[in-house]
Structure 1
Amino acid sequence: MTTWTTLLRALVDPVPDHRPPLAGARRRWVRALPFVAVLAMVGALLPTGIDVLARMYGLNGGLAVTLALVQAGALPLALYRPLTAWQLMAPAALVGAIATHGSAATQPWPWPPPSLLCYLFLMVFLAIRERGRTLLAVWAVTFLGNSLSWTVFSAYFDGTSVVVTALSAVILLLGWSLRGRGEARRLLAAQEQISETERARRTLLEERARIARELHDVVAHHMSVIAVQADSAPYRIEGLPEPAVAEFGQIADAARGSLAEMRRLLGVLRAADTEADKTPQPGLADLPKLLATVAQAGVHAELAVADGVHRLDPVPEAVGLSAYRIVQEALANVVRHAPGATARVRVAAADGSLTVDVDNGPAPGKAPAVETSGSTGHGLTGMRERVRLVAGTLDTGPTADGGYRVAAVLPITAPGENTA
């Protein structure tokens, strides 16, 4: 069944550059089938046609050979140019009908059996290669010719004209339908290819957006630490000479300028052609190192990890990475907006979810805030996207003592999965 389906599909596929049917098939024996069929038809119909026209219809040898040769010889041409072959066969059929009219009383007329078989076989090649308008014109000419024979020579009517008219219509209609189905299948395949390309493009854009968010999370955090360290150095280190204080001030200004420039370019980075970072992504185990980095900027952070977290199976990478980035961004906000404040990071596990809570008090120090606009740009947006990625919830807002709190609930298992 699969072989016949493959042959049928290859047969109705249009082949450009006047190549023969099945020319696009992968197997050699499939490509050879049209040639074998034509060779068999010519080998059978050419001598049979000569014999029938000469012996049964009484034509002289030269005319019988000529008519049979034109009609059967048009079949090899039909492999490459079926319409041209029909343009040769149709006049030959008309000449043959006129020449054999004298034998119409005793033999089939106007279609001797070899001519009928040649004409119907040619219809197959026309049906699978030519357009619908061409097929309709061919059948119209066939119908008019047969109708003329019915009208003018009704006394010799024997039904062969009806057979040719009906079978040619069936063959042409069936071939046209199969070609239409093949065209629809190709259009569908092309549309699926376009859709697949669009999906790949969308996936690429999403990956670029993820890279851009990662870049913001990492670079903004470290640049904020640099800026705060440089700004607070004159307050933390006594006896600094004026050139050193000025140098630290320039470093802080440069860091703040870099932060502002990075945020302006973040939209461009989302569409940039950048390679994804292939280094291992951080997780819960990297939180102590993160807090140690923040401490260098003068922010004392305390980490409390509940016992239930340690008893969990390995946390899914997406959940661990989201928790780490949320803590990183929350502490970066503390560094930017409340330098010197005390932050508390609590991680717990309950009811199949990982809870991350980061809060801080007001800034007690004299160092100016790195950010004065009251906005962290893409920081909170990145938190929300990460929480949405794992179907969690996020709650942020100021606290009663003038600090800020970030609380996230990250499901460890996807909705509907067994949490046991």
Structure 2
Amino acid sequence: MKIRQLTSVPSTLTALPILLADALVTPTGGHEPLLGSARRPWVRSLPYLVAVALLAVLIPTGTVLLHTAYRLSVPTAASVAVAQSAPLLAAVTRPLAVWWVVFPASLAGAVLTVGTPAGAGPWPWPVTTLIGYLFLMLALSLRERGRTLLAVWLVTTLTTAAAGAGFTRAGNSGAPLPIVLSGAVLVLGWSLRGRGEARRLLAEQEQISEAERGRRTLLEERARIARELHDVVAHHMSVITVQADSAPYRIAGLPPEAAEEFGTIAASARSSLAEMRRLLGVLRSEESAPDRTPQPGLDRLPELVDTVARAGVRAELTVTEAVGALGELPQAVGLSAYRIVQEALANVVRHAPGAAVWVSVAAEDDTLRITVVNAGAPGGTAEAGIESPEGTGHGLAGMRERVRLLGGRLDTGPLPDGGFRVAAVLPVNQPEEPGT
């Protein structure tokens, strides 16, 4: 066991430079600007403003400083100042790539100024070079991972220490200052970045919690609606089914027509109960899984018209040949067409009993056109589709919602003879089927 521990130490020391070199050449993420996710526009533009201000100050100041204090020629001083400061504008989006430009430029400036007198200024980091380099350290700390920051600081420390040891100059006491300041800026930026990420994660958790609370409230409301539907509607429909089925046996001397009518009532009640069970299953499903039961479509319209005809409404259905040429309709379109006709006929039964109804289904330009027109009620009762004391107007609202989800058009309104008209245009080709 001891031999393994001893042999693992050299391997770790060998792998450390490889890890540091990889950290220096591999950026952390994309090229989103610093503070690019801030809400306020002025905060997002702040890094660019600081970078432009540094360029406007450091390039002329650095040129003058390198020429007067460090005795470089004006072209050389200007070239070094531009090489050290101009790339800082790109540090807003690519700080690690900029470091690979600014750091060699700083080394070149140190080599060019190595022979200047000791009292000329701090060496190997002139003041202007150090200011620009600290801004770059701040940009790095706000973007790169900790391993990259450690590698940058170690390279800065080693080169500064080697320069100070290899070129001893009187009065060069400021050599450790860049090491301390760069490390402090990296730690400060890393701390600010960690705090910002912690606040962002906390905000995301709060949003998730809020969404979860909303989802739980929705599930509770759906469960309450399901209980009410089960306790009220389903119970009464079950009673109607039982009474209609047992009427021929309970009532003596019942005419055959009446017995057939009771059978029709029982069949309609059982069909309603089946749809009620399916609706209750959807409401009680936490994941809102799509229902696998086949949904009614245009093929069920004749059955629907026959049902209202047995209820005393003279209904006539017309389906043009162009509808068959459309082929198989999307489920959302077929179901919406069926529900629109169903609601229109139900309105006639409720508000204009005994009135004649004409249902027309046609196709034109990849659209399905449904028209339901009823004549005025024989007794002068309320027009179908118009809100009455017995109705709530929810039927027309449901039609409009279905048509709107499919991107179609709906036209409803009374007719001069006292009847009512419902006309819907549904696009057949949908990019994706909305939920029903």
Q: Normalising by structure 2, what TM-score?
A: 0.52
- Paired residues of 1:150 and 1:157 also in contact (CA < 8 A): no
Q: Which residue of 2 aligns with 1:347?
A: none
- Paired residues of 1:82 and 1:126 also in contact (CA < 8 A): yes
Distance 1:88 1:245, change over 3 A: closer
Q: Which residue of 1 aligns with 2:375?
A: none
Amino acid at match of 1:123: M
Q: Which residue of 1 aligns with 2:20?
A: none
Q: Which residue of 2 aligns with 1:146?
A: 160
SS in 1 for 2:165: helix
Distance 1:220 1:36, change over 3 A: closer
Amino acid at match of 1:34: P
Q: 2:55 aligns with which of 1, 23, 42?
A: 42
RMSD: 3.3
Amino acid at match of 2:160: N
Q: Which residue of 2 aligns with 1:80?
A: 93
Distance 1:30 1:224, change over 3 A: closer
- Shift, 1:123, TM fit: 1.6
Q: Which residue of 2 aligns with 1:132?
A: 146
- Shift, 1:92, TM fit: 1.4
Q: Which residue of 2 aligns with 1:301?
A: none
- Match status 1:51 vs 2:64: yes
Distance 1:140 1:254, change over 3 A: same
Deviations 1:310-332 (A, max 9, x none): xxxxxxxxxxxxxxxxxxxxxxx
Deviations 1:103-125 (A, max 9, x none): 25223211122212221122222
Deviations 1:65-101 (A, max 9, x none): 2111111212222223222222111111111112211
- Shift, 1:253, TM fit: 8.5
Q: Which residue of 1 aligns with 2:133?
A: 119
Greater RCO between the two (CA within 8 Å, min separation 6)?
1
Amino acid at match of 2:135: F
Amino acid at match of 1:159: S
- Paired residues of 1:109 and 1:156 also in contact (CA < 8 A): no
Mapped to 2, the partners of 1:31 and 1:50 lie a distance apart of: 30
- Paired residues of 2:35 and 2:47 also in contact (CA < 8 A): yes
- Match status 1:184 vs 2:221: no
Mapped to 2, the partners of 1:43 and 1:220 lie a distance apart of: 79
- Shift, 1:165, TM fit: 0.6
- Match status 1:200 vs 2:209: no
Q: 2:227 aligns with which of 203, 213, 221?
A: 213
- Match status 1:89 vs 2:102: yes
Deviations 1:107-152 (A, max 9, x none): 3211122212221122222222222222111111101111212322
Name the count of aligned residue pairs. 260
- Shift, 1:232, TM fit: 5.9
Q: 1:106 aligns with which of 112, 115, 119?
A: 119
Q: Which residue of 2 aligns with 1:350?
A: none
Distance 1:174 1:245, change over 3 A: same
Rg bigger for which structure?
A: 1
Q: Which residue of 1 aligns with 2:182?
A: 168
- Paired residues of 1:105 and 1:156 also in contact (CA < 8 A): yes
SS in 2 for 1:160: coil
Deviations 1:216-274 (A, max 9, x none): 11223322432453466467644435775687578669867976996687444423699
- Paired residues of 2:118 and 2:171 also in contact (CA < 8 A): no
- Match status 1:33 vs 2:46: yes
Mapped to 1, the partners of 2:165 and 2:257 lie a distance apart of: 117
Mapped to 2, the partners of 1:166 and 1:65 lie a distance apart of: 28
Q: 1:240 aligns with which of 254, 269, 287?
A: 254
Q: Runs of 5+ in structure 2 lacking a partner?
A: 1-27, 291-436
| Bigger mean CA deviation after superposition, 263-272 or 242-251 | 242-251
Deviations 1:190-233 (A, max 9, x none): 22222222222222222222222122112233224324534664
- Paired residues of 2:242 and 2:266 also in contact (CA < 8 A): yes
Identity %: 58
Distance 1:261 1:43, change over 3 A: closer
| Bigger mean CA deviation after superposition, 134-143 or 51-60 | 51-60
Distance 1:45 1:213, change over 3 A: same
